[in-house]
Structure 1
Amino acid sequence: MPSEIIIESELLILKRTDEEDIDFVLNQESSTENNRFITQWTKYQHFAAIGDPDKEHIIIQSKMNERIVGYIILAGLEDYNNSIELLRIVISDKGHGFGHECVRLIKEICFKKYMAHRLWLDVKEHNHRAKHVYHKCGFTIEGTIRECIRTDNKYESLIIMSILETEYQDLE
């Protein structure tokens, strides 16, 4: 049975992650191209996220060739404050505008489907490509959590970014 489509555009289809998609997710997460930018999860953490009503685990598929090109995890869908976190976005096929289009679709899901007041994320300070995409999509830097993650015996800082519902509406 095919996964439930959440939203689609001319470029992409975003659908619920199935258990058989987890090997792709783990491979992308651990790839040298991506692993320096994201926290690694176990297979069981991803399985748990698929079944968690407070999370949305999403596969990104190219509409042109139906190939999987990434995944997304949203958290806080049941948050009392209507604040949803873009917990993870990984694009395996970079340079085709998939990241920008995904963020646009994520905003639509969060603000129209889940009626969020705020969509937020953290991004590693050295992830300039992602910060550029988020800024271009209307996210504002809220601040820095300094040296909060230990990676390979060094500390890294996270930049907190968000967009509010009113800002999203102004961009439409």
Structure 2
Amino acid sequence: MAAIRIRRALEADIAFMMSAERQPGYAELVGRFSEEDYRAEMAKADSAVLIGEQANRPVGLVILQNIHHHFRNIYIKRVVVAEAGKGTGTAMMASLNAFAFQELNAYRLWLSAHEHNHRARHVYEKLGYRQEGIQRGAYGWPDGRFTDLVQMSLLRPEWEAFPNSDHLR
């Protein structure tokens, strides 16, 4: 698989981002932003809306929050790939980890994944993320259901020691 480059999203990327997250079944896995939501997130000084690019075309997106956190704990708000099941998510997350630890000087990357999102959790585990706990009933759906979230993180020393880290290639 060709390398995936991480870059800051541009206003012109909003249509791609909205399309990627609106694929069948994604609403229950990653959520949805409106165009206004994306513009607002891109304008926040403490957020980074990023595009994963392969062969000069967008293949995914990531939203980071708290990028200036005083303890360097960066929250991964959203991860979306345009074509699931092709290894793109793993490659994009490896590049994202390198970007966050090298460019943003993160010490800890963390996220919350829906408990039922086994594919995403597998990717995170494959890249060295560890489960920290379960946030019971932490996500409420419009229909009144509540589901658990699995909190996972990756620390800089773990990333540096991880054999498949993007920075070691």
User: Quick check: TM above 0.5?
Assistant: yes
**What is the one-letter code of the residue matched to 1:108?**
A
Query: Hey, what does 1:49 align to over in structure 2?
Result: 41
Q: Which residue of 27, 31, 39 corresponds with 2:23?
A: 31
- Counterpart contact for 2:129–2:152, Cα < 8 Å: yes
Query: Hey, what does 1:169 align to over in structure 2?
Result: 160
Q: Which residue of 6, 12, 17 corresponds with 1:14?
A: 6
Q: Alpha-carbon deviation of 1:23? A: 1.5
Q: Which residue of 151, 155, 159 corresponds with 2:146?
A: 155
Give runs of ≥4 in structure 1 deviating > 4 Å: none
Looking at structure 2, the residues matched to 16 and 116 of structure 1 have their Cα atoms a distance apart, in angstroms, of 17
Q: Alpha-carbon deviation of 1:54? A: 1.0
Q: Alpha-carbon deviation of 1:128? A: 0.2
Q: Alpha-carbon deviation of 1:17? A: 1.0
The one-character-per-residue Cα deviations of 1:90-140 (angstroms, maximum 9, x if unpaired) are 001122211111111111111111111111011000000000000010000
Q: Which residue of 73, 88, 94 corresponds with 1:104?
A: 94
Looking at structure 2, the residues matched to 21 and 113 of structure 1 have their Cα atoms a distance apart, in angstroms, of 21
| Structure 1 unaligned residues grouped into runs of 5+ | 1-8
The one-character-per-residue Cα deviations of 1:73-106 (angstroms, maximum 9, x if unpaired) are 1111110110001111100112221111111111
CA RMSD, 1 decimal: 1.5
Query: Hey, what does 1:113 align to over in structure 2?
Result: 103
- Counterpart contact for 2:90–2:123, Cα < 8 Å: yes
**What is the one-letter code of the residue matched to 1:153?**
G
Q: TM-score, normalised by structure 2?
A: 0.89
Determine helix, strand or coil for the equivalent of 1:74. strand
Looking at structure 1, the residues matched to 15 and 64 of structure 2 have their Cα atoms a distance apart, in angstroms, of 19
Looking at structure 2, the residues matched to 114 and 14 of structure 1 have their Cα atoms a distance apart, in angstroms, of 12
Deviates more, 1:155-164 or 1:45-54: 45-54
What is the number of equivalent residue pairs in this alignment?
162
Looking at structure 2, the residues matched to 24 and 39 of structure 1 have their Cα atoms a distance apart, in angstroms, of 15
Query: Which runs of structure 2 are paired with 1:114-133 in the superposition (5 Å)?
Result: 114-133=104-123
| Structure 2 unaligned residues grouped into runs of 5+ | 164-169
The one-character-per-residue Cα deviations of 1:18-38 (angstroms, maximum 9, x if unpaired) are 112112211222222311102
**What is the one-letter code of the residue matched to 1:80?**
H
Determine helix, strand or coil for the equivalent of 1:162. strand
